[in-house]
C-alpha cells in the first residue's frame, strides 16, 4: 500500500488549505481541508489484496456495502441489518437515499427506461473475451454520475464517478475516477471496494484480476483528521492479505458475505475519525 501512503503524505504536507461545505455533527463546525488536484495510484492485484494495513480496516463492511450496491437498493435496511452504519447520516427518516450508487449502477435513468449498467458491463466483458475486436472493448464503463438526477448537493453520491474496465491477455483491469476523495476515511474503503469488484467480475467472466488504477480529482484530508494521518504515516506497512472468493460465485447477483474470505490480514490498530456530512 505504499502508493496510497505516499499520496496521503503528499496531500498532508503539500496540500493547499481550502474551505469546504461539510460540517461535523458533533459540534456543527466546518473543518478546512488540505487538498491537491489530479493524482493517480496503481495496484497490481497479483501482489495481494490492497487493503490498508497501517490501520485496521473493516473488510466485512466493505463487502456488505458492495453487495448492497450490486443489489440495486436505495434503502439502507440491508446495511443496518449487518451493522454497517456508514450511510446512516445521509438517509431520510425511512432509510431512503434516493439518488445513490445502487440506483445508478443497476437502474440508471435513461430516456427509454432504466439501464442495468452492471448486467451490461458483465455482458460487455464477456463479449470482449469472445471477440477482442468488439467495439464494446473500449466502452466497458460504469458511471455513478447523472447530472439530471442529482439535485441535492448534500448527498455525497457520485464521489467515485466513473470506472472503466479493460480486458488484456486474459486479465481484467479497472481504472476509477474519483472526483472528490476523503484520503483518510473514504479512500482506503474505495480502494478495497473496487478491488473486490474487479475480482468478482474477473471470476464470473473467467478472467484473472489485473490492475486497479485509482485516479483522483480533488484529493483531500480534513483538518480534524490530521493527527490521525500523522500517526498513520509513522507506521510501517505489513504484507498484503489474499482475497478468496467461493467457487459457488457464478453471477454478480445474489451474493452473500460467506462467499468472501480474507486470508493473512494483519494490521496496526484502528484509527478513528469523525466524518463531515
> Known catalytic residues?
159
Going across the sheet that includes 141-143, the strands are 16-18, 33-44, 208-222, 171-182, 160-168, 141-143
- Contact present, 61 and 93 (Cβ < 8 Å): no
Q: How far apart are CA 38 and CA 1, in angstroms?
A: 19
Biggest CA pair distance of the chain: 57
Using DSSP's 3-state secondary structure scheme, residue 221 falls into strand
Angle at 46 between CA 42 and CA 52, to 5 degrees: 55
Partner residues linked to 221 by β-bridges: 34
Which long-range contacts does 153-156 make (Cβ < 8 Å, 24+ apart)? 153/21, 154/90, 154/277, 155/90, 155/97, 155/98, 155/99, 155/100, 156/90, 156/180
Partner residues linked to 24 by β-bridges: 276
Amino acid at each position: 500500500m505504499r502508493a496510497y501512503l505516499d499520496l496521503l503524505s503528499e496531500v498532508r504536507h503539500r496540500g493547499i488549505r481550502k474551505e469546504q461545505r461539510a460540517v461535523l455533527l458533533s459540534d456543527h463546525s466546518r473543518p478546512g481541508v488540505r487538498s491537491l488536484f489530479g493524482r493517480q495510484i496503481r495496484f497490481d492485484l497479483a501482489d495481494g489484496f490492497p487493503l490498508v494495513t497501517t490501520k485496521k480496516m473493516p473488510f466485512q463492511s466493505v463487502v456488505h456495502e458492495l453487495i448492497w450496491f450490486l443489489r440495486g437498493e436505495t434503502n439502507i435496511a440491508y446495511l443496518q441489518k449487518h451493522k454497517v452504519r456508514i450511510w446512516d447520516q445521509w438517509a431520510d427518516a425511512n432509510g431512503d437515499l434516493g439518488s445513490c450508487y445502487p440506483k445508478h449502477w443497476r437502474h440508471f435513468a435513461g430516456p427509454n427506461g432504466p439501464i442495468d449498467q452492471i448486467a451490461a458491463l458483465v455482458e460487455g466483458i464477456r463479449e470482449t473475451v469472445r471477440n477482442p475486436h468488439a467495439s464494446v472493448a473500449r466502452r466497458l464503463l460504469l458511471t455513478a454520475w447523472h447530472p439530471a438526477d442529482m439535485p441535492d448537493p448534500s448527498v455525497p453520491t457520485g464521489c467515485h464517478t466513473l470506472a472503466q474496465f479493460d480486458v488484456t491477455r486474459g486479465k481484467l483491469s479497472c481504472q476509477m475516477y474519483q472526483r472528490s476523495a476523503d484520503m483518510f476515511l473514504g479512500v482506503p474503503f474505495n480502494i478495497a471496494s473496487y478491488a473486490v469488484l474487479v475480482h468478482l467480475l474477473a471470476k464470473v467472466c473467467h478472467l484473472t484480476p489485473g490492475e486497479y488504477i485509482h485516479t483522483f480529482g480533488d484529493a483531500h484530508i480534513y483538518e480534524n483528521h490530521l493527527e490521525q494521518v500523522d500517526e498513520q504515516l509513522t507506521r510501517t506497512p505489513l504484507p498484503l492479505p489474499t482475497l478468496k472468493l467461493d467457487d459457488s460465485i457464478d453471477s454478480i447477483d445474489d451474493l452473500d458475505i460467506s462467499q468472501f474470505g480474507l486470508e493473512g490480514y494483519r494490521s496496526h490498530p484502528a484509527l478513528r475519525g469523525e466524518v463531515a456530512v
